[in-house]
A = this chain, B = another copy of it.
Amino acid sequence: MIIIMKPHTPKEEILIQKQKLEREGFEVNLSQGENYCILGLIGDTTKIDESKIGANEYVEKILKVQQPYKLANRLFHPDNTVINVKGEKIGGNKIAIMAGPCSVESEEQIVEIARRVKKSGARFLRGGAFKPRTSPYSFQGLKTHGLELLKLARKETGLPIVTEIMTADMIDKFVEDVDVIQVGARNMQNFELLKELGKTRKPILLKRGLSATIEELLMSAEYIMSEGNENVILCERGIRTFENYTRNTLDLSAIPAIKKLSHLPVIVDPSHAAGLWWMVEPLSKAAIAVGADGLIIEVHNDPANAKCDGQQSIKPDKFHRLMEDIDALAQLGSREIYETINF
């Protein structure tokens, strides 16, 4: 960490600041330039509270050298983390495809879709039981009944299930019923929820907040990991910009960036990013080409009558063709989609 003191700061104030930092256990390098005096801190600054230093009236600016996350940091964990979900791996050479409807609507719907997406190569079933909706008047999901239906679909197909949690009081139930617990974009900084999830050992699918920086996403992962749960899968799902042709702007540069900064696997949600079904195909391909470890895709057998987000769901046939295309793409990078070829 580098602390830039204001021009014309009295010498004694600089020394006071220096000694204060030394007392906190840092080695401090002092360097006087023409206009600015600079303090360079050596030591583990991960746990320093920047705002406390910034509160000194003589401090002009603070520049970070080291990333503020440790457990999620590739610097200290050079190898890729591979997460094992009931034998299915996320983060390795096989690309993890999660597919399913925005929300679980009925047994027939979820079982039918589960069968179809499995047949096409999906390795996880996604489906919302608890739905965060911007309007209180919109369908809020089947809730615990939805979880039961997901379990039925899992029983029928063997696909592990991925579904979103909204409150900490449901954690025990989710740990019991679910294979991957999703934290939605709007809860990415619901720190209490993250801490509680950190106490479990379940794989957590952590979505990037609507306007979260990559660093903030990794800090939210750090929240979970600092409580002992290292099974974190990151998910890029579009960020908010001034462009409004698409619902959000899918930030695909985030994939190589995250892979550089962290050892955690990262997947892409093309459905929520664009909010347009016909963009799912090109964005999925781009996500694989850029190096994502997986995709989470909305598939619905009857989008026009879906209870939510039908406009961004693709039909099973389209999904099937997409899987074929993506497998070819994956193979170019010595990766693959399909478990076996027997279907």
Contacts and interface: CB of A to CB of B under 8 A. Distances in A.
Interface of A: 2, 4, 7, 29, 31-36, 38, 40, 42-44, 46-47, 49, 51-52, 54-57, 59, 61, 63, 65-66, 68, 75, 132-139, 166-169, 186-187, 189-192, 195, 209-211, 213-216, 219, 222-223, 226-227, 239-246, 249-257, 260-261, 273-274, 277-279, 282-283, 285-291, 303-313, 325, 328-329, 332
B195 A190 contact: no
Given A52-B308, A191-B132, A291-B282, A34 B43 contact: yes
A291 B118 CA distance: 27
Contacts of A278: 256, 260
User: How would you classify the secondary structure of chain A's contact residues: helix, strand, loop or mixed?
Assistant: mixed
Contacts of A55: 277, 303-306, 309-311, 313
A40 to B, nearest CB: 5
Contact of A211 (B168, B211, B215, B246): B211
Nearest to A67: B35
Contact of A241 (B42, B51, B167, B249): B249
A261 to B, nearest CB: 8
Given A249-B239, A253-B274, A282-B290, A222 B313 contact: no
A252 B255 contact: no
A253 B283 contact: yes
Given A35-B66, A56-B304, A244-B213, A189 B289 contact: no
Given A213-B242, A257-B245, A282-B290, A166 B186 contact: no
Contacts of A242: 211, 213, 239-242
Contacts of A44: 34
A303 B63 CA distance: 20
